[in-house]
Amino acid sequence: MLPALREYQEDAVESVLLSLRSGVNPLLVAPTGSGKTRIAVEVMKRWQEVYKLPVVFLAHRIELLKQAEDAMRAGGVNGFVMSVFDKDQPDFMNESLTIWDEAHHVSAEGISALLARFNGPKVAITATPDRLDRQRIEDEGFSLCHEIYIRDLICKGYLVRPMAKKLAVHINGEAGTIEQVLKQVAANVLDEVARHERKRSIAFLPSVQSSKDFASSMCALGAKWAHVDGETPLDQREEAVNWFKQGKLDGLSNVSLFTEGFDCPEVDCVVLLRETKSRALWSQMIGRGLRTSSGKIDCLILDPFWTSGENTLNPADAFTGNPDAFAGSQLGLRDCLADADGADADAEERLLAKFKRLERLKDAKEARERGLIDISVAIPLLGLIPPPEASQGGLMTPSQKALLEGHKVYGSNFTEAQARWLLRKLSDRRSQGLATVKQVRKLRQFGHRNAQFINFTTAGQLIGSDWRIKRFSK
């Protein structure tokens, strides 16, 4: 029997069904640990209650298909599970509902080819936070109907809080081989696992050989550790996973085998020993340790330094809401959510600064077209040194800006006090009958070094005559 739906799962199911009833193929974004399979089975069940037709669950990995098959059986759903790579297609599928899990894995061409085989209503589900992946799916006729945010699940207690620790790995002597590096990393990881009293760890590595070497290093240090990969015979793989889930193993090493379709709530430590530029993959690896379990209050994310540099992403980057946010690298135990908040705030500040820059450039262009001279140009033309910015007071007022434009001067980043100072200087020049800023600039363009001291009338006469040949100087 399936567990009751959580509140956010019920909302997701209703959103998907509403889209289907409206003739829309919905896209559901749900992170690792949100119960995507449970949501998918409930959608199938309720759809089937109305249309009385078999349903199809599509995925790319055997673990996902097995989970779905077990859940469909427990939920009393009449349907089939199929790999996206399976070319056979039963006849009834033309009208059946198809639910496609982890939809972001198929290329744009693959999406089109896959969808051409299924003519009935379709639902795409993905855990990826990458907008480009979602956009690609949406371009193929799916519309985002609902999104579940990993931050919300953590804050509401449906997932545990992630605590990250960046480790500095020091290698004695020269850099050494990858085996030497892994031995040192294994020693550091084992120390942290003991210090934080972790019971079950899962490690992600960049290659099968490095995963095997890391598992061997952990075993040599006294840990009960195993390696599995896609080539491991299925019975051995299942045995290792079962031992791990039963607590007979302290840890498992893999490459990308357990980023999806692996459900072990007892995992309380994730070791990130591979770099990636994909936030989706990063989030899915970290998500392996976020499920709740009895007595579990958080998940430790260990992120060692490599001798060749740092990981492209940091643990907090799995929880940022802004795609342009990047969390800084800091040693020691860190609160991922707090670091993600800081990274989001920095990204927002950069975006606002960019908008302001673009706005200033647009205003400056319009000012030049109106024959105005920027303050940054006008002040040195007149031989003036602006006062420092006042500690209090905001930017110039609209009336000050208008008065400056009356002197053919444009600016937007001057403070009220600085604008008052410049207006006084310009008014003094006018009362003394000296050349305007525009006249001074014209004279300076043709080599008159002391143009700021020429009076208004003479400046006009020089500009109106063949003064470029005379080259007057004072």
Q: What is the DSSP string of 73-134?
A: HHTT--EEEEETT-----GGGGTS-EEESSGGGS-HHHHHHHHTT--S-EEEEE----HHHH
* Closest of 240, 242, 198 to residue 215, by C-alpha: 240
Angle at alpha carbon of residue 219, lines to 215 and 221, rounded to 5°: 120
pTM higher than 0.85: no
312 vs 275: CA distance, rounded Å: 6
Question: Class of 155-346 per CATH?
Answer: alpha beta
Q: Are strands 251-254 and 161-167 parallel, antiparallel or unpaired?
A: unpaired
pLDDT at site 415:
86
55 vs 330: CA distance, rounded Å: 48
pLDDT tens digits along 57-80: 988 888 888 888 999 999 999 998
Give me the torsion for CA of 250, 255, 256, 262, rounded to 10°: -10
Burial code (b: 16+ CB inside 10 Å, e: under 16) for 240-268 equals: bbeebbeeebbbbbbbbbbbbbbebbbbb
| Alpha helices per DSSP H over 196-321 | 208-220, 234-245, 279-287
Parts of the chain with a pLDDT under 70: 87-94, 105-112, 114, 128-136, 169-177, 305-311, 355, 359, 388-392, 465-474
285 vs 223: CA distance, rounded Å: 22
**7-148: in CATH 1.10.3080.10:** no
- Could you tell me the two tokens for 162? 């992630």
3-state secondary structure of 46: helix
* Closest of 102, 293, 296, 289 to residue 203, by C-alpha: 289
| Order of strands across the sheet that contains 79-83 | 79-83, 55-59, 98-100, 122-126, 25-29, 142-147
pLDDT at site 214:
94
Residues constituting the chain: 474
410 vs 400: CA distance, rounded Å: 10
Residue that the structure tokens 């770099």 belong to: 275
- From-to residues of CATH 3.40.50.300 in the chain: 7-148, 155-346
pLDDT at site 177:
67
Angle at alpha carbon of residue 294, lines to 288 and 297, rounded to 5°: 65
424 vs 392: CA distance, rounded Å: 20
Residue that the structure tokens 């302290």 belong to: 250
pLDDT at site 351:
76
- Could you tell me the two tokens for 340? 């993600």
pLDDT at site 181:
80
88 vs 398: CA distance, rounded Å: 71
32 vs 290: CA distance, rounded Å: 8
CB atoms within 10 A of CB 309: 8
Residue that the structure tokens 């693959």 belong to: 110
pLDDT at site 308:
41
CB atoms within 10 A of CB 274: 19
